[in-house]
Structure 1
Amino acid sequence: MHSLIASPFLDQHVLVRPGSRGGALLPEARYDELRALDPGEPAPPWLVEAIGGQWAELDVADQFLGEFLLVRQPSTWGYGKASWEINLGCNYKCKQCYLGLKMNAGMPWEDKRHCLDIMADAGVLFLQVTGGEPTIDKDFLKAYRYAWDLGMMITVSTNGSLLWKENILRTFREYPPYRVTVSMYGAKKAGYDELTQREGAWDMFVQGMNAARHARLPLRMSIVVTDDNGNEEQAMQDLCKSWDVEYEVFTNMTPTIYGGGEVLTAQSKEHLRLRKTFTGCNAGHTFFHMDPHGLVSICKIGRDDQISLPHEGIEGLARLGEIADRLMLRTGDCSGCTIAGTCRVCRPLAKHYQEAKAPLAAYCRHGEKKAG
């Protein structure tokens, strides 16, 4: 079982460790050297020194390469990251959820495994496993372990409600995730249960967080601020600080993935924040998203023209770049915009807001002018 991964990542080569945020760049010649070495050979001195400099607690001087290092093969596809909704089902019914209807549905295990193989062949090193709530999927642990064995650095995005379960904790201890990102919906039981529309949700969250912290999982909190819990924003931040867990605050609600505006009523007007100017992204070019049925899109938002990974295989990804470029073009009410280039959201997200008939101020600079 590996404790380190040497891998291409986009235009670079890196040395990373599951469970650790740190890493090191590898010169291409050093990466090629590692590829050529037999797993039964001892670690070369330069590698022992590099590992000791980055992870002082990891001593590999007397180990063979195959005992601690997984060397991933190069890929011609150029994808370094991906996200995967393993299942849209959830044990919460959050009022603001952008997924809309959350139904348990997905691929059989063989298709899941096939898609993970394709992701690895496409070069994916960093994989986000999300949902719905991923930990309720019957194949979650099996899929997590399979992706880990393929040499992926895995982020699990969860509501934290099941992190106390021993089978999950045991798996994360033995096969460390890159990060566990936990959504936070309140700082008190009444408000938390109300927002998630699940009695006992707060108790499950606290139990999960206590277990995760005790297990020293690499945690990060996503504080979700809505109209219901806006008065608890500071209390949520204070709780994260008391737990010594880093956090990020999210205040802007988005329509559902179907363009539905029903969740926008959860927006706290007092917490609506101006986004930074959108300057472009590499969605569809170095990153992609896969839904529970193996349908690949450029990202979680731009889901038009999806590619069926189980049926088309890795060759289907060849069309993703062209799809991304087309989805980013300004169309509809955004074509001919006089302040184009200063947008605060990408074109696919703007399209969702337009379909949801959201107020311009929620997503468009023209709305900011009117509001002013």
Structure 2
Amino acid sequence: MHALIASPFLDDYLVLKPDSQQAVKIGARKFDELLTTSADPEARCPEWLTDAARKRWDLDIVGRHLAEAVKVRTPSSYGYGRASYELNLGCNYDCEHCYLGQKKFEGLGWRDREALLHTMRDAGVLWLQLTGGEPTIDKLFPQVYNAAWDLGMMITISTNGSRLHSSQMFALLTERRPYRITVSVYGATAEAYDGLTRTRGSFKAFTTGLAAAHEIGLPIHLNLVITKHNAHELDAMKAFAEGLGVTYNVYSNISPTIHGGAETLPSQSPEFLRERKPFTGCGAGHTHFHTDPHGMASICKVGRDPQVSLVEHGVEGLRTLAEVADSLMLRTGGCSGCALSGTCWTCRPLAKLYQEAKSPLDRYCQHGGR
């Protein structure tokens, strides 16, 4: 089991520790040395690498075989560094604000999932987000996690935290620690939390799971999700995060569903509708992509149409995404010719969903008068 990962990442070459936020940037020459040397099962870790590992992570790999201690990733010509993968849209909560809309329990079988992960590896994906629905309730989550970890990916799990205390999950994440566990927080009390999730006992499951993960020092980040049901507890939610000593973000803008449904919008807390920063572009479709439970790839979680089947086309299917991304970002369908487009707050795919949901302009557009 590798202790480090050496990999190209866009225009750089990095050495990383699977559960660390820190990295060592190396040049092409040193990476090529690792790539060549790793083919020899008897070759030892070079001195410059053992010194860097000790200095950066206090990690001792002196005398270890390079092929065993370091997962050296083969360079890819496809140029992708990140991806997100929805294992399943099913969830054990029933949150009113959920952008997925109808949460169906369905997805690929193991052979197709395994092939999909190899496709992501071949595309150059180094950072992989496992998400859902709730990914940890997916029956194949352990297999997916182990395979991605073995392929040398830096894994982020986006979860509600309700299953982190299970014996299987505890053992898995202790032995093979993730890069990050991002846990959504829906309240500071059982009344608010269970009310938002519409699931009795969800607050207890969340706090139990989070306590278990925190106790063994897993890398936790919290997303504080604010709706009209829990807005009064924002200060308490912040205090909770700060008491744990973990990083957190506050998310308060409620989006339509991925199908352009408006059923999520009533959960918006008007006083917490914040003004977004101007959208100046992103790497969606160019340097990162999203894959749904059926292996259909899109530029991101929002811009899901058109899609390409990675099960059918493999890694070659990704060659179409850059062109798709450029076409989706054009200001069309109600936004073309807008005098404020240069400082627009919202990317075109997200604006399209708001328009399909017949959302009030102030939720996504400067013409809303805010």
TM-score, structure 1 as length reference: 0.98
Work out whether 1:186 is the aligned partner of 2:178: no
Cα RMSD (Å): 0.7
Q: Which residue of 1 aligns with 2:57?
A: 55
Q: Which amino acid aligns with 1:76?
A: S
Look up the equivalent residue of 1:347 and give its one-letter code: R
The C-alpha deviation readout for 1:192-251, integer Å capped at 9, x for no partner, is 101000000011011101111112110000000000100000100001111112111000
Question: 2-side partners of 1:66 and 1:114: how far apart?
Answer: 23
Secondary structure in structure 2 of the residue aligned to 1:13: strand
Counterpart residue number, 1:301: 302
- Structure 1: which amino acid aligns with 2:177? P
Whole-angstrom distance in 2 between the partners of 1:82 and 1:333: 30
The letter for the 1-side match of 2:285 is G
Percent identity over the alignment is 52
Q: Which runs of 5+ in 2 are unaligned?
A: none
Question: In the alignment, residue 87 of structure 1 is paired with which amino acid?
Answer: N
CA–CA distance in structure 2, aligned partners of residues 40 and 95 of structure 1: 56
Following superposition, the deviation at residue 62 of structure 1 comes to: 2.2
Decide whether the 8 Å contact of 1:161 with 1:205 is kept in 2.
yes
1:333-359, CA deviations, whole angstroms, 9 ceiling, x for partnerless residues? 101111111110100000000011111
Task: Tell me, yes or no, if structure 1 residue 29 matches structure 2 residue 29.
Answer: yes
Q: Structure 1 residue 138: deviation in Å?
A: 0.6
1:183 counterpart SS class = strand
The alignment partner of 2:322 has SS state of helix
1:46 counterpart residue number = 48
Separation in 2 of the partners of 1:339 and 1:103?
A: 39
1:83 is aligned to 84
- Kindly provide the amino acid, as one letter, of the partner of residue 12 in structure 2: Q
> d(CA) in 2 for partners of 1:51 and 1:341?
45
Q: CA deviation at 1:274?
A: 0.4
Number of matched pairs: 368
What is the rounded CA distance, in whole Å, between the counterparts of 1:144 and 1:161 in structure 2?
17
Aligned-partner residue type, residue 264 of structure 2: V
Distance in 2 (CA, whole Å) between partners of 1:268 and 1:7 is 43
Q: Which residue of 2 aligns with 1:212?
A: 213
1:320 alignment partner in structure 2: 321
Counterpart residue number, 2:107: 106
4+ aligned runs moved over 3 Å, structure 1: none
**Aligned ranges for residues 142-181 of structure 1 at < 5 Å?**
142-181=143-182
Confirm or deny: 8 A CA contact 1:278 1:345 kept in the other structure.
yes
Mapped to 1, the partners of 2:357 and 2:250 lie a distance apart of 24
- Secondary structure of residue in 1 paired with 2:341: coil
C-alpha deviation, 1:71, in angstroms: 0.4
- Structure 1, residues 269-305: CA drift from partner, whole Å, max 9, x if none? 0000000000100100000000000000000000011
Amino acid at match of 1:22: Q
- Contact kept, 8 Å, 1:169 with 1:215, in 2: the verdict is no
Secondary structure of 1:92's counterpart equals coil
User: Residue by residue, what CA displacement relative to the aligned partner does 1:29-88 show, whole Å, maximum 9, x if unpaired?
Assistant: 0000011112321211111111112112x1111212123111000000000000000000
Counterpart for residue 64 of structure 1: 65
Alignment match, 2:289: 288
Partner of 1:259 in structure 2?
260
CA distance in 2, matches of 1:271, 1:310: 41
Q: Classify the secondary structure of the residue corresponding to 2:319.
A: helix
Counterpart-to-counterpart distance in 1, 2:256 and 2:141: 27
Aligned AA for 2:5? Answer: I
Equivalent position SS for 2:284: coil
Distance in 1, matches of 2:3 and 2:66, equals 11
Give deviations 1:104-153, integer Å, cap 9, x for gaps: 00011111001000000000000000000000101001100001000000
- Structure 1 residue matching 2:342: 3-state secondary structure: coil
Shift of the alpha carbon at 1:185?
A: 0.1
Q: Distance in 1 between matches of 2:113 and 2:67?
A: 27
What is the CA–CA distance in structure 1 between the aligned matches of 2:223 and 2:142, rounded to whole Å? 23
Matched, 1:6 2:6: yes
Which amino acid is the alignment partner of residue 46 of structure 1? Answer: W
Match of 1:227, as an amino acid? K
Residue 73 of structure 1 aligns to which amino acid in structure 2? T
Q: Secondary structure of the equivalent of 1:315?
A: helix
SS of the aligned residue for 1:296 comes to strand
Query: What corresponds to 1:125 in structure 2?
Result: 126
Q: Which residue of 2 aligns with 1:17?
A: 17
